[in-house]
Amino acid sequence: MDKNAHVETCVLLVKESISDDDMVSIKVDLEGISLDQGKYDPPEKPTYGNIRKWVKEKYGFSVSTLYIAQVKGKAGIKERQNYNIGTGKGKELSCPPEKEAAIMEAFRHFRLI
């Protein structure tokens, strides 16, 4: 969680009792408290799909997962092991500079770097 994040807590205090004579009522003054702040939306995870979507929305072009993986390697971001490595006989495309810059910006947006 972001160290500057603001967290509010609402607590209901209840004491269970068999007798109604033991019941305690508490009045809380809600004046000045806004209750319509909306729901909490957790930050998006930096998945390949979310990175591709972010780049498409921000820059208007698509990037492949291969380009994202190449830029991750250049940035020193550790990736998990790939079990679908293929034969290694295909040609490897290199990421164009404008797409590399957009992917790096996405990494900053998702706080990977």
Residue range 7-22, pLDDT digits in tens: 777 777 666 666 666 6
Residue whose token pair is 């190449």: 70
Q: What is the mean pLDDT of residues 40-44?
A: 78
* pTM of the shown model: 0.60
Q: Rounded distance, CA 71 to CA 91, Å?
A: 17
Q: Rounded distance, CA 65 to CA 86, Å?
A: 15
| pLDDT for res 16 | 67
Q: Which residues of 15-39 are buried (b: 16+ CB within 10 A; e: fewer)?
A: eeeeeeeeeeeeeeeeeeeeeeeee
- Tokens standing for residue 90: 């295909």
| pLDDT for res 20 | 65
Residue range 59-89, pLDDT digits in tens: 999 999 999 999 998 998 887 777 777 777 7
Residue whose token pair is 């007798």: 19
Average pLDDT taken over every residue of the chain: 82
Rounded to whole angstroms, what are the CA distances from 19 to 14, 38, 63?
14, 38, 67
The residue among 59, 87, 92 whose CA lies nearest residue 73 is 92
